[in-house]
Amino acid sequence: MEGLHAHHSQLLFRAGIEWGYVNLEKLDVNHMDCPKFEGRVAAATVDNQVVSKVLLSDENGGVWVFNVKNKKDCELDRKILPATAAKAPVELASIKGFTIGMQKATDNVSSSLLALNMSQKTARRRPGEQGPGGHVVWRRQGSSVQDWTLQKRHQQGDLIALLSEDGREIEILELLMQVYTPPPSGSDPFANMQLPIMGVAVVLLLGYQFMKQKGKGGGGGGGGSKFNKADFANFASKRKGGLGSKGLGKMR
């Protein structure tokens, strides 16, 4: 064996052109035979979101994505060719929605840290990229790297640590990337507009009630009544005067 990778209860092994699973309970090895795969396995990892997806890289820098059912049946999902000047193998690490790859420096080319989009099978082609679709989200060229690792953090950006070739310097990088999540199929396109529509309806209802009450109040103090306060006072004074003169006449 040339390498191991553990993910939860799964343990992958790679050995040249072969790879598979190690069953720690039964202490046996299950070799996988995936169609269309060619070359030696340079790195292997499990998709961070879908445990049935296994990512392999070959010695020429190609990244293969396989769907594995019951750790027996293997089907090719896609092949990604992150084009670079050097056909160096890519070391892999999986995070939510992306695969982080490291191509170490060769004689003429510096090391390259890159991110591959795994949320969609096809993407926009970038200049110089090969294959059925562009998957390289970003690429960062750097100096020679002896080793590297990735630390996943909850509700924070994941961290990448790079160890320099001479072993005297460690560079820490924080990943700030978001995964696009498409809306579920069959969802109501106006679902996000329900609250604004309800708010507008409430405002219109309150406005209508206000105008209605204002109309009633204006009618009661104006033309809706025969007398206002001044008319009533004038009428009362005239009424008292009339009664006084009539009473004096009778006494006479």
Least confident residue range of 79-93, 112-126, 133-147, 198-212: 112-126
pLDDT, mean of residues 212-233: 58
Instruction: Tell me if 111 is assigned to some domain.
Output: yes
- The pLDDT confidence band at residue 237, using thresholds 50, 70 and 90, is low
Instruction: Tell me if 181 is assigned to some domain.
Output: no
Q: Please tell me whether residues 167 and 218 are part of one structural domain.
A: no
Q: What is the pLDDT of residue 1?
A: 87
Residue with tokens 């799964």: 10
pTM, two decimal places: 0.65
Q: Does the pLDDT at position 229 exceed 60?
A: no
The letter for the amino acid at 248 is L
Q: Please tell me whether residues 47 and 107 are part of one structural domain.
A: yes
Instruction: Tell me if 179 is assigned to some domain.
Output: no
Q: Please tell me whether residues 167 and 59 are part of one structural domain.
A: yes
Q: Give every CB contact of residue 219 below 8 A, 6+ residues apart in sequence.
A: none
Q: Please tell me whether residues 170 and 199 are part of one structural domain.
A: no
Q: Please tell me whether residues 92 and 25 are part of one structural domain.
A: yes
Q: Please tell me whether residues 219 and 114 are part of one structural domain.
A: no
Q: How would DSSP label each residue in 41-70?
A: EEEEEE-SS-TTEEEEEETTS-EEEEEEET
Q: Does the pLDDT at position 99 exceed 90?
A: yes
- The pLDDT confidence band at residue 121, using thresholds 50, 70 and 90, is low
**Domain residue limits at 119:** 3-174
Q: Please tell me whether residues 135 and 224 are part of one structural domain.
A: no
Domain count, the chain: 2
pLDDT, mean of residues 217-229: 51
Among candidate residues 141, 174, 207, the one where a domain is terminated: 174
Select from 157, 162, 123, 128 the least CA-distant residue to 145: 162
Q: Please tell me whether residues 91 and 206 are part of one structural domain.
A: no
Q: Please tell me whether residues 148 and 84 are part of one structural domain.
A: yes
What values do phi and psi take at 213, rounded to 5?
-65, -35
- C-beta separation of 56 from 63 below 8 A: yes
In whole angstroms, give the CA distance from residue 108 to residue 85.
9
Q: Does the pLDDT at position 217 exceed 50?
A: yes
Do β-strands 98-103 and 91-95 pair in parallel, antiparallel, or remain unpaired? Answer: antiparallel
Q: Give every CB contact of residue 88 below 8 A, 6+ residues apart in sequence.
A: 61, 103, 104, 106, 109
Among candidate residues 115, 144, 174, the one where a domain is terminated: 174
Least confident residue range of 49-63, 192-206, 207-221: 207-221
For a pLDDT cut of 70, what percent of the chain falls above it?
Answer: 73
Instruction: Tell me if 184 is assigned to some domain.
Output: no
Q: Please tell me whether residues 169 and 210 are part of one structural domain.
A: no
Q: Please tell me whether residues 215 and 114 are part of one structural domain.
A: no
pLDDT, mean of residues 217-227: 50
Among candidate residues 121, 149, 174, the one where a domain is terminated: 174
Q: Does the pLDDT at position 85 exceed 60?
A: no
